[in-house]
Structure 1
Amino acid sequence: MSDSQLRILTLPGWNGSGPEHWQSRWEQQHGFQRVEQHDWQQPLRGDWMIQMEEAVLSSETPVVLVAHSLGCHLVAAWAAHSRQAHKVQAALLVAPADLDISLLQSLHSWHNMVLQPLPFASTVLASSDDVWCSLERAAWLASAWGSTLVDIGPCGHINSESGLGDWPQGLQQLQDLIARSTPVA
């Protein structure tokens, strides 16, 4: 998948995405660009938002976001505060984490989830057996963000442990989202 008219940015979640993660594979195979963070283990929302802002600002073409887990919340927080959200054409939000789960309470700067509609087209892909977010909570997040929800069945947290490999079904969801989203003027 290559579209020289778009810049596709990947936004991994907490602890980043390792080499077997579908995000890493898509970066290698399709030239998508990762938004690197200063600290993947101790994520600070403000710091992550600055890194994302710089990545979007540096783009001369419209941007499509591909987020996983905590990266989905990064998209929501960034979009609520940035004056650059108009540069984003669409966002694929995969396996958003439920930040109210007790284990995730250590992510102090992320406690107040941003729950307002995104100003661009978005799709949430959720698994029916994700230990980090029930399908019901994923539906709630999708509704709050104004996103289309797609239940992809039992795929765990939709990460490298899910054994998805290159994950062509996810790539098709991304292509479908881009095709139905309105190009940025």
Structure 2
Amino acid sequence: MKPQNVLILPGWQNSGPGHWQSLWEAQYGYHRVDQHDWMNPRRGDWMAQLEETILAADEPVVLVAHSLGCILTAAWAAHSKNTHRVKGALLVAPGDAERDELRSVLPSWSPVPMNRLPFPSLLVGSRDDPYCSFQRVLAMGEAWGSTFTDLGNAGHINAETGLDDWKAGHDILRSLIEMKAN
């Protein structure tokens, strides 16, 4: 798989320079799906940007989503006619946009789509994520048909967690890519 066909889908406020998504982008040449407004995300705008990026790819893609990027993946998959262009998705630490404290700042992201994804997905969650309860991440994984990995107490699985380039996460991504190649 060509590196530019591995699409990085950051969450709300983007992924900063120390985030594993940014480090993977720099190290492996993966392609970040840039959004028009990282601070005031609108679901329809983000879905349109993802659709355009997938359609511009010269071959099927693999999605690497974090936080709101996971919700974007589920929302896009529920509406797009081009889901066959996705080989698989790595979904990490979905943010629960239905939580009271997030609903007001992310008004267009509720309800969280709970449809089975039409492509293979691996969901990595944490037991102490401040943006999504463990029970909720398990429910999302079940609804989306994702294979689940419990990372234990790893917070929001971001730069603040101290993962650096998160080699174990990249191994999970490689297993997803290889699984689809067989």
Residue 162 of structure 2 corresponds to 163
Q: Give the distance between the partners of 1:24 and 1:5, measured in 2 at CA.
A: 14
| Aligned sequence identity (%) | 52
Q: Give the distance between the partners of 1:98 and 1:82, measured in 2 at CA.
A: 22
Q: Give the distance between the partners of 2:30 and 2:179, measured in 1 at CA.
A: 20
When the two chains are superposed, the root-mean-square deviation of aligned CA atoms in Å is: 1.3
Residue 58 of structure 2 corresponds to 60
TM-score of the aligned structures, taking structure 1 as reference length: 0.94
Contact 1:125 1:151 in 2 (8 A): yes
Deviant stretches of 4+, over 6 Å = none
Residue 89 of structure 2 corresponds to 91
After TM superposition, give the deviation of residue 6 of structure 1 in Å. 7.1
1:18-69 deviations in Å (ceiling 9; x for gaps): 0000000000000000000010110000000010001000001110000000
Q: How many residues align?
A: 181
Q: Give the distance between the partners of 1:86 and 1:156, measured in 2 at CA.
A: 33
Amino acid at match of 1:73: I
Residue 7 of structure 2 is aligned with which of 6, 9, 21? Answer: 9
> Structure 1 unaligned runs (5+)?
none
Q: Give the distance between the partners of 2:103 and 2:96, measured in 1 at CA.
A: 10
The correspondence of residues 3-152 of structure 1 with structure 2, limited to 5 A, is 3-4=1-2, 7-106=5-104, 107-152=106-151
After TM superposition, give the deviation of residue 8 of structure 1 in Å. 0.1
After TM superposition, give the deviation of residue 176 of structure 1 in Å. 1.1
TM-score of the aligned structures, taking structure 2 as reference length: 0.96
After the TM superposition, which of the residue ranges 130-139 and 63-72 deviates more from structure 2? Answer: 130-139
Q: Could you say what secondary structure the match of 1:181 adopts?
A: helix
Amino acid at match of 2:30: F
Residue 175 of structure 2 corresponds to 176
